[in-house]
């Protein structure tokens, strides 16, 4: 019987996994979020399959897993895995690309709407000292949606779901994704931009949905942000390092950008390193940021249904890759 290790003890029981494994795999579990280093060597030595959720799997961790044949990242992004080291060992890597799609898309559009309709701004003002002014605020943040261009960086599953939602609200939608075949724009009834620069120059509200790769790390830097239309809004529910947070702060401070919604940060949780000055200003409720910045704790994916999807699809994927060597979720080593 093949042995699979779930290091974090995420669920109260293993009934679902055991039913899906059908007696061909057995599941061993660790005890918490302390990381792989806290696991007993004997437990690691048995693992032929490894689930990764919050942990990072680095090259220096791999000698503790001499039997390891497959890793399933319990999520969409796989930047937590040292894929070069795993490929060198011939260890298969899979992710779960088809969970949380609707949740993240809903969250991205909700952030955009909360900013563009002034909901966050007026909410903050109505919590001010009594009597709070019972009036609307004139600001470039608030615009008619049907007169706005909505730009999407990365038109995968989530980006496509965002495009459909943005269209439903009347936005003029465009995207940039160099990896997609021709015709996607026509199928969805949206505009394709052939360069990042072209997307930025026509965009009032930007939503990021690219994976974190070598090519996308730092991609949305200050020159890119400066190409956005004056008074633009930026939403990031993808990965923190794609967006230069210091550049974002400068563009917010001088008014080039009207607002931003962030579900992800370059370092998570932010207390694990120096706290970005933009986040410090946000937490201090500095007046220049009132209603212009919304931060959520990498929670865009979260619903009970999404957690159930992660659990079920992760178990199914692990069973597929270990018993047949084939899975639709397998990530080729040469992929970005």
Query: How many CB atoms sit inside 10 A of residue 98's CB?
Result: 12
- The runs of H, that is alpha helices, within the chain are 15-21, 41-46, 83-88, 101-116, 119-126, 157-168, 184-188, 196-201, 222-227, 245-253, 277-283, 304-324
Q: Which residues contact 238 (CB under 8 A, 6 or more apart)?
A: 154, 208, 209, 210, 211, 212, 264
Distance CA 150, CA 190 (A): 10
User: 242: which 2 tokens?
Assistant: 């794609």
* Residue listed under structure tokens 């038109």: 155
Q: How far apart are the first and last CA of the chain?
A: 33
User: 197: which 2 tokens?
Assistant: 């620069």
Kindly list the distances between the CA atom of residue 75 and the CA atoms of 54, 72, 266, 276, in Å, as whole numbers in the listed order. Answer: 9, 9, 18, 26
DSSP codes, 15-84: HHHHHHHTTSEEEEE--SSS-GGGS-HHHHHH-SEEEESS--B-GGGGGG-TT--EEEESSS--TTB-HH
Query: How many CB atoms sit inside 10 A of residue 281's CB?
Result: 17
Angle at 157 between CA 333 and CA 228, to 5 degrees: 100
Is the distance from CB of 207 to CB of 162 less than 8 angstroms?
yes
Mind telling me the catalytic residues? 239, 268, 298
Q: Which residues contact 46 (CB under 8 A, 6 or more apart)?
A: 3, 5, 28, 67
Distance CA 151, CA 154 (A): 10
């Amino acid at each position: 019987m093949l042995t699979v290790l779930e290091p974090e003890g995420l669920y109260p029981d293993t009934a679902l996994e055991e039913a899906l494994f059908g007696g061909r795999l057995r599941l061993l579990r660790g005890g918490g979020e302390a990381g792989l280093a806290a696991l007993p060597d004997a437990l690691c030595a048995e693992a032929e399959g490894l689930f990764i959720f919050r942990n990072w799997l680095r090259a220096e961790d791999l000698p503790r897993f001499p039997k390891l044949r497959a890793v399933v990242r319990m999520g969409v992004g796989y930047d937590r895995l040292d894929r070069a080291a795993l490929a060198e060992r011939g260890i298969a890597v899979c992710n779960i690309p088809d969970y949380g799609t609707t949740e993240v898309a809903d969250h991205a559009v909700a952030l955009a709407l909360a900013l563009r309709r002034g909901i966050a701004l007026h909410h903050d003002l109505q919590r001010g000292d009594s009597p709070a002014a019972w009036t609307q605020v004139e600001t470039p943040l608030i615009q008619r949606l049907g007169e706005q261009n909505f730009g999407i960086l990365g038109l995968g599953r989530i980006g496509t779901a965002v495009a459909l939602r943005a269209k439903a609200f009347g936005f003029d939608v465009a995207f940039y994704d160099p990896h997609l075949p021709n015709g996607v724009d026509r199928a969805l009834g949206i505009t394709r931009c052939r360069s990042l620069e072209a997307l930025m120059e026509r965009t009032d509200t930007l939503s990021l949905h690219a994976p974190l790769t070598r090519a996308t790390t730092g991609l949305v830097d200050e020159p890119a942000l400066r190409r956005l239309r004056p008074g633009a809004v930026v939403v990031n529910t993808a990965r923190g390092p794609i967006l230069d947070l210091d550049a974002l702060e400068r563009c917010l401070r001088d008014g080039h950008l009207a607002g931003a919604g962030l579900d992800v940060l370059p370092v998570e949780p932010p207390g694990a390193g120096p706290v970005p000055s933009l986040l410090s200003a946000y937490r201090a409720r500095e007046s220049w940021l009132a209603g212009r910045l919304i931060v959520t704790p990498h929670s865009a994916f979260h619903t009970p249904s999404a957690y159930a999807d992660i659990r079920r699809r992760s178990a199914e994927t692990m069973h597929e890759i270990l018993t047949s060597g084939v899975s639709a979720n397998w990530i080729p080593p040469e992929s970005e």
